[in-house]
Amino acid sequence: MASEITYAEVKFKNESNSSSTYSESAAAPKGKPTPHLSKPGRPSLLFTSLMALFLLLTISFLVAFILYYQKYSQLLEEKKVIKDLTHKELNCKKDITFLSCPQNKVCSCCPKDWKPFSSHCYFITIDPASYSKSEEKCSSMGAHLMVIHSQEEQDFITKILDPKFAYYIGLLDPGRRQWRWVDQTPYNENAKFWHSGEPNGNDEQCVIINHRNSGWGWNDVRCNVEQKSVCQMKKIYL
Ligand code: MMA
Ligand code: CA
């Protein structure tokens, strides 16, 4: 009996709110009330709509998140594959900061023929080329022309360069004698190694490192001059 009373109340509400619900109720068999209509405290249309909207939003967010995550993982995987394809052989060793290698994961690696120093790997290209061709070559190997930010880095590289030759580094003057590193890191006034009297040419917008009687240093040169070069990339962590 109690359920019949509730049904009557619900039906009344429906009749006053929506004609479609009314016709549904009218079409329902008269003798026995349908179970779903007889439930007490049936949520209002507004509440149901809000819940549906909330559910829809949640689903949309979930789908967006999953899609974004998939894309991101795919990008990471592609990056790794590219590196693996470019560098067929890696030389890895335990980093002091990472105690076990390879059993307990992280190992720092440089491609074969690249020299490790700090967190980077360095490669000396011996075929002379213009600045842009040299940078392209580094780029094709997932690297860029070398950037020098400390006396230690300058000393490390000069120890393995041949003093008979000059090598492009990743320093450029895009105009008005403003020096810019190719990896966009700031040009540090406290870590520059120009030979005395350099830079000296407004038409010399690229930079080489070479040896003079005074020692190793930088010189600005014309960018179309063909020189050897030094490429640099971050170590690969496996
Ligand atoms: C000289 C000196 C440099 C200049 C080169 C250009 C050999 O060095 O003037 O500053 O960049 O010539 O070839
Ligand atoms: Ca010069």
Q: Could you tell me the two tokens for 161?
A: 């360069």
Give ion ligand 2 contacts, CB < 5 A: 200-201, 204, 219-220
For 126-144, write each residue's pLDDT tens digit. Answer: 999 999 999 999 999 999 9
Look at the domain 123-231 and name its fold: Mannose-Binding Protein A; Chain A (3.10.100)
**Better-predicted residue by pLDDT, 64 or 21:** 64
Q: Residue 163: is its pLDDT beyond 90? A: yes
Higher model confidence: residue 55 or residue 4?
A: 55
Ligand 1 atom with least separation from CA of 221: 11
Span from the CA of 220 to the centroid of ligand 1 (angstroms): 8
Residue 115 has pLDDT above 60, yes or no: yes
Per-residue pLDDT band at 43 (split at 50, 70, 90): confident
Distance CA 97, CA 106 (A): 9
Task: Answer yes or no: are the C-beta atoms of 33 and 1 closer than 8 Å.
Answer: no
Domain boundaries, the chain: 123-231
Distance 201 CA to ligand 2 centre (A): 5
Q: What is the mean pLDDT of the chain?
A: 82
Q: 35 to each of 1, 13, 69, 131, 216, how far by Cα in Å?
A: 14, 17, 44, 81, 91
Q: For helices 2-17 and 19-27, what crossing angle results, to 10°? A: 140
Over range 217-224, report the average pLDDT.
98
Q: What is the pLDDT of residue 13?
A: 36
- Give CA–CA dist 91/114, Å, rounded: 9
Ligand 1, atom 6: closest residue by C-alpha: 221
64-105 pLDDT, tens digit each: 999 999 988 887 776 666 666 677 788 877 655 544 465 556
pLDDT for residue 167: 98
Ligand nearest to the CA of 219: 2
pLDDT value at residue 94: 63
pLDDT cut 70: percent of the chain above it: 74
Using the mean position of ligand 2's atoms as its centre, give its distance from the Cα of residue 106 in Å.
43
Residue 172: the pLDDT is 97
Q: Which of 170, 172, 179 lies closest to 233 in space, CA to CA?
A: 170
Task: Please list every protein residue whose CB sits less than 6 Å from any atom of ligand 1.
Answer: 198, 200-201, 204, 219-221
Question: For residue 220, which atom of ligand 1 is closest to its CA?
Answer: 11
Average pLDDT of span 182-188: 97
Q: Is the model's pLDDT at 29 over the cut of 50?
A: no
Ligand nearest to the CA of 210: 1
Ligand 2 centroid to 134 CA: how many Å? Answer: 19
Q: 30 or 82: whose pLDDT is higher?
A: 82
Instruction: Find the ligand nearest to 201 CA.
Output: 2
- pTM for this one? 0.66
How much distance in Å is there from the Cα of 215 to the middle of ligand 2?
Answer: 16
The pLDDT of residue 88 is 77
Count of CB atoms situated within 10 Å of the CB of 125: 19
Residue among 129, 140, 114, 131 at smallest CA distance from 234 = 114
